[in-house]
Structure 1
Amino acid sequence: MSNPYAPPPAGATPPDRQPGPGGPPAGARDGRRPPHPPHLPEGHDPRQGQRPQPGRPPVLPPDPEAARVASRRVLHFGLLMLATVLTSSLPLPWGAASIAFVLLSLVVGVRALAALRRARVRGVLAPMLTIGLVFSTMLALTTVSMVATWPVQSAREDCLRSALTLSAQARCEKAYQDDLITWQQDLIDRASRG
């Protein structure tokens, strides 16, 4: 019994080139392409390895120049997000600058997502950018609420600045929570009256 995994003997004709029962394949002698094999669907080119999907447009490769522009916008979005996170942790007069950074990052992020779509870039970049935009939106809401409660936040920061012990810090946090509840109640009362 011969070994099926052994290489063919020298000078042997490969099985796909051997003539069949009716002789050599049509077009083999005169250089023409043989007819389409019956076991493959029509439109399938075995040299390309892909068959076109019926009813779908062909997938176009990414545009290099548009991909470069999109990646630059994604980089700008990331830098603006970093600036937002860094400025939001600053004390309040400076922490308000995070509003400008977060709003700018939302605009740049949406433009970057549109540029990625136009450039036909595939992969994890678009989903990661979408997650970044969701995070940026949540950060924008948090920053706006922080600025809306500016007097309460400012009083908390002043209290924490002068608190030297853990019990003093706990009193500051308790006063902050009470002031926040009072601010919310005032807001609800104003809305119900107006």
Structure 2
Amino acid sequence: GALATAGYGTALGVIRAAVEQGKKIHVYADETRPFLQGSRLTAWELVKDGIPTTVISDNMSGAIMRQGKIGAVIVGADRIAANGDVANKIGTYTVAVLAKEHGIPFYVAAPISTVDLETPDGSKIPIEQRNPAEVTHIAGKAITPAGVQIENPAFDVTPAKLVTAIVTERGIARAPYEQSLAALVRGAEQTTEA
């Protein structure tokens, strides 16, 4: 089946592993504005690995899902709260909502070091506001009228209730995430101390 990936990171490891297991994969990669990491980096890595890939604009995810082209969504994470809320590249939350609406599993693939048990939920994760010029200009050329206000958060938070599972190098966490993530982190700490 097809997989969708928003952002760049550990999600590619899951996709590569699926291909190595002989699964037929076609990736739909969001362009990932404003820096276009999906179209520049994710697509480049996938093509380099010989994995069939289609780049879509960020606002196309729902249409592609509705057409039945997506079997699962896999994203990375910059930070995961103790309750399973996930901070990742802006737009991830939108993709998660669309996946839920279309009955598509939404997986997060991240290293165990991304899990922050000291942060109880996503509301406590600080969200960086990026330079407005990243949105107002492309290749040095203005694309918005002067005087327009800009919102340019680097990340958004996907609520745990939209996450099917969190895949780490220590295992897979499923709801209730407070227990499953804590067990995986404790396992990692015990291995490190041994």
- Is TM more than 0.5 here? no
Relative to its length, the structure with more strand (as a share) is 2
Structure ID, larger Rg: 1
TM-score (norm 2): 0.25
Relative to its length, the structure with more helix (as a share) is 1
Q: Which has the higher contact order (CA 8 A, sep 6+)?
A: 2
TM-score (norm 1): 0.25
